[in-house]
């Protein structure tokens, strides 16, 4: 058996293991957010935490992995159905995030006075842009194709999704420093949640980054050709 084939097979096995670990971590996070919010009767900040945390840490993370070829939840789907699965997760996740952000905004007198709030606001706006960009990328209306080719639409949606997910997970990470978490969660447990958030982020962006790189190379090549 060629050495290159053996190495490639081993890398796929490692990716499969990491992906399984990621799904387990996401499930544990979902359970934790639900139990904590339920214990506080889903009131005020507890509801904000549940909606935004579940939206980003669970649904958006799964949406990021929807086209991952070793993802056991989607690998049996066709490319078109993977796109539909991705769209459903993105829309539901974004709706939860928007509701969570709106609820928090209406309950506070002072806004964006913390880095958690500022970064969270950028992530929320990114969700709106992501939904709009997703519709354009999926349906590819003629007016959009007159402005950008299909390859550029896909590149921008891919890159925008990574950026929005990065801001969202950063906001969640900073949220662990908030008064809400330090009051209702064992302070010795918070570092474990921080670690889980970092791991879920890293493991979830493997597929979209791998998809973005060839798009970026193609984009640079096209620009180089246009410049000649």
pLDDT in tens, 125-158: 999 999 999 999 888 888 888 888 888 999 999 9
- Statement: residue 24 has pLDDT above 90: yes
Q: Under CATH, to which class is 43-227 assigned?
A: mainly alpha
Task: Tell me the two tokens of residue 197.
Answer: 């958030």
- Statement: residue 3 has pLDDT above 60: no
pLDDT at residue 175 in the model: 96
pLDDT at residue 78 in the model: 93
Domain positions in the chain are: 43-227
């Amino acid at each position: 058996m060629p050495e290159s084939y053996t190495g490639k097979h081993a890398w796929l096995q490692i990716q499969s293991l990491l992906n399984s670990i990621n799904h387990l971590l996401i499930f544990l996070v979902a359970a934790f957010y639900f139990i904590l919010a339920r214990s506080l009767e889903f009131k005020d900040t507890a509801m904000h935490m549940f909606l935004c945390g579940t939206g980003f840490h669970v649904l958006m993370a799964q949406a990021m992995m929807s086209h991952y070829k070793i993802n056991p939840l989607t690998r049996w789907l066709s490319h078109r159905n993977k796109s539909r699965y991705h769209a459903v997760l993105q829309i539901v996740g974004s709706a939860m995030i928007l509701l969570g952000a709106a609820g928090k905004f209406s309950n506070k007198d002072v806004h964006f006075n913390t880095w958690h709030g500022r970064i969270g606001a950028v992530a929320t706006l990114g969700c709106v842009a992501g939904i709009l960009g997703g519709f354009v990328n999926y349906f590819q209306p003629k007016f959009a194709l007159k402005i950008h080719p299909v390859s550029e639409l896909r590149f921008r949606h891919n890159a925008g999704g990574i950026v929005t997910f990065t801001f969202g997970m950063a906001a969640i990470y900073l949220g662990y420093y908030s008064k809400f978490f330090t009051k209702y969660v064992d302070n010795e447990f918070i570092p474990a949640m921080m670690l889980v958030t970092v791991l879920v982020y890293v493991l979830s962006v493997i597929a979209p980054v791998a998809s973005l790189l060839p798009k970026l190379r193609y984009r640079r090549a096209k620009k180089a050709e246009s410049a000649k």
